[in-house]
């Protein structure tokens, strides 16, 4: 006897990379710069369209986004929405708005500051790259 819960749902790893990238406020160009080499915005876009990503590339992207590889492999949007939906109540009988069953072992503000600093470094790298491109173009015109 088979039910819908017996068959695991395919996780779209490319879409999960996009979600994490967007949560960090990174553009595809910034991720491409961080990946280095022959990466471009177009290639990052193609990567985000892939259902399954090669292990070595997945490890690189996870390191840049500072998330575990397993998070990209296992993030299921339906489950996440379900958790969020079960976290909040309709405030009947002065019910709490937050389910306090999870324990956090880190200070979220510190994590946000770390991500902000990393984001700032990536944007500085991107800006530097753009300045180099402009300088090359000016030299070619002369």
Q: Read off the pLDDT of residues 39-60 as tens digits, 9 standing for 90 and up.
A: 999 999 999 999 999 999 999 9
Domains of the chain: which residue ranges? 13-89+104-141
Residue 73 confidence (pLDDT) above 90: no
Q: Which pLDDT belongs to residue 47?
A: 94
Residues 126, 41 contacting (CB under 8 angstroms): no
Q: Say whether domain 13-89+104-141 belongs to CATH 3.30.1600.10.
A: no
Whether the pLDDT of residue 4 is over 50: the answer is no
Q: What is the pLDDT of residue 103?
A: 47
Q: Say yes or no to pLDDT of 79 above 80.
A: no
How much is the mean pLDDT over the chain? 79
Please state, in angstroms and rounded to a whole number, the distance separating the CA atoms of residues 129 and 85.
Answer: 43
Beta carbons within 8 Å of 99's beta carbon, 6+ residues apart: 86, 87, 88
Calpha distance 88→98 (Å, rounded): 6
**Rounded to 5 degrees, what are φ and ψ at 29?**
-60, -40
Structure tokens at 15: 């879409």
pLDDT of residue 44: 94
pLDDT at position 3 over 70: no
Check if the beta carbon of residue 126 is closer than 8 Å to that of residue 29.
Answer: yes
pLDDT band at 84 (very low <50, low <70, confident <90, very high): very low
Cα–Cα distance, 27 to 21 (Å, whole number): 7
Residue 107 sits at φ, ψ, to 5 deg, of: -90, 115
Q: How far is the CA of 11 from the CAs of 6, 17, 21, 70, 108, in angstroms? A: 15, 11, 17, 11, 27
């Amino acid at each position: 006897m088979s039910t819908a819960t017996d068959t695991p749902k395919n996780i779209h790893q490319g879409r999960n990379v996009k979600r994490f990238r967007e949560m960090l406020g990174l553009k595809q160009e910034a991720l491409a710069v961080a990946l280095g080499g022959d990466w471009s915005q177009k290639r990052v876009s193609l990567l985000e369209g892939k259902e399954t990503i090669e292990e070595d590339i997945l490890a690189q992207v996870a390191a840049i986004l500072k998330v575990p590889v397993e998070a990209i492999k296992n993030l299921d949007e339906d489950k996440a929405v379900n958790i969020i939906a079960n976290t909040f109540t309709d405030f009947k009988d002065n019910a709490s708005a937050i389910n306090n069953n999870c324990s956090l072992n880190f200070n979220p503000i510190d994590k946000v500051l770390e991500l902000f600093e990393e984001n700032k470094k990536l944007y500085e790298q991107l800006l530097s790259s753009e300045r180099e491109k402009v300088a090359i173009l000016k030299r070619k015109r002369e």
